[in-house]
Amino acid sequence: MLVFLLKRIAMVPPMLFAVSVVAFLCLELVPGDAAQMAAGQLQDPETIAQIREKWGLDEDTSPVERYGMFLNNLLIQRDARNFYTGEYITEELFERFTATAELALAAMLIAALIGVNLGIAAGRRPGSGTSAASLALAYGGISVPIFWLAILSVGVFAVWLQVVPASGRLDASLLADFDPITGFYLLDGLLKADMRILGSALHHLILPAAVLATIPTAIVVRLTRASMIEELQKDYVRTARSKGLREDRVVRGHALKNAAIPILTATGAQFGYLLTGAVLTETVFAWPGLGSYVVEAAKGQNGMALMGGILLLGTIVVFVNLLVDVLYAVLDPRVRAGQHSRREGGTA
């Protein structure tokens, strides 16, 4: 297990380096004068000169030196400012990350609860109407474009029925005096024991989370169904049934444990997708997360903010994948055994 873990951890630095290079290239490829765009059209030449010096935007500075200066300003000094807003980029990214993480966690919870239970029901009776309906839901969830579903949901639930807000994370009346503790508004409402904050945050969260959960729900349903069908046909399940165990205990207490390994892997991968791929959902619902931040930076040709956003998104993907690999090895001893067997075979 230790060797497996060390191998996975050793892969992280080169992957992070690759992510930082891609982020830097995105900045280099932004057309126009980066210093002028960062300062804004109304800034004086002195301000533009200061930006050039700080970020190495002079013609005499090599790309390698400029790459080092960008990483130093963003990660070490952490004093890189978004000149459009006047705020530090690291602070903006943290605020946007908590918004995206809260949305992704809510969507993943919905996907896990609905997907696993529907998949179990479909796997227990493969030829039943429940199984057919679950598969139809899964294929529909994957096929429907997320932006179309988001726009339709806003039109029906926010505009027509008016049961949920169309945008934002909190009511405007509460947001003005709200001082977040963690950046996770549901948790902040609990910590502050403020039911108004908690209720408003949940009210704003439920619709975008449900829309964002459609694709991972469909994937979890299909995978759970297939895994349960396979596990329920194995000898240990027949043995458990022959001992007189209740069917629910056989399914959830025995078969589901073994079927959970691929489900967990897919769930972890989908969570990484939700953290980094919620651009369309955040844009439609005006959700102030990382996805919308990167879109705004790209639209405004704000190269510094764009690089910071891409760097953070790439880092999230790397560490989520590392966590999934580690959990997979912990739950499935065959992974560790396979590593051990290959090592012994190579030695022989």
Q: Is residue 319 part of a domain?
A: no
Q: Please state at what angle helix 214-231 crosses helix 129-143, rounded to 10 degrees.
A: 140
Per-residue pLDDT tens for 83-104?
677 788 888 899 899 999 999 9
Position 39 scores a pLDDT of: 63
- High-pLDDT (> 90) share of the chain, %: 20
CA distance 172 to 157: 19
Q: Is residue 348 part of a domain?
A: no
Sequence-distant (≥ 6) Cβ neighbours of residue 205 within 8 angstroms: 102, 103, 106, 169, 185, 186
Q: Is residue 347 part of a domain?
A: no
Higher pLDDT, 222 or 332: 222
Residues 104 and 252 in one domain: yes
Lowest mean pLDDT among 122-131, 229-238, 253-262, 336-345: 336-345
Q: In 3D, which of 16, 55, 13, 12 has the Cα closest to residue 305?
A: 55
| Domains in the chain, number | 2
pLDDT at residue 172 above 90?
no
- Which of 25, 57, 88 marks a domain boundary? 88
pLDDT confidence bin for 345, thresholds 50/70/90: very low
CA distance 43 to 27: 21
DSSP for residue 169: S
Q: Can you tell me the mean pLDDT for 238-259?
A: 82
pLDDT confidence bin for 334, thresholds 50/70/90: low
Residue 49's alpha-carbon distances to 45, 52, 85, in angstroms, are: 6, 5, 19
Provide the Cα torsion 17, 18, 19, 24; round to 10°.
90
State how beta strands 87-88 and 81-82 pair: antiparallel
Residues 79 and 214 in one domain: no
Residues 46 and 129 in one domain: no
Q: Can you tell me the mean pLDDT for 330-343?
A: 55
Residues 139 and 33 in one domain: no
Residue by residue, what is the 3-state secondary structure of 71-118?
Answer: HHHHHHCCCCEECCCCEEHHHHHHHHHHHHHHHHHHHHHHHHHHHHHH
pLDDT at residue 301 above 80?
no
Residues 102 and 24 in one domain: no
Higher pLDDT, 48 or 161: 161
- Which of 60, 88, 116 marks a domain boundary? 88
Q: Can you tell me the mean pLDDT for 307-329?
A: 83
Q: Is residue 328 part of a domain?
A: no
- Which of 62, 88, 114 marks a domain boundary? 88
Position 204 scores a pLDDT of: 95
Structural domain including 182 reads 95-298
The mean pLDDT value of the chain amounts to 82
Residues 58 and 190 in one domain: no
Instruction: Check which CATH number belongs to the domain holding 157 and give it.
Output: 1.10.3720
Residues 119 and 244 in one domain: yes
Position 344 scores a pLDDT of: 39
**First-last CA distance in the chain:** 21
pTM equals 0.83
Beta-bridge partners for 82: 87
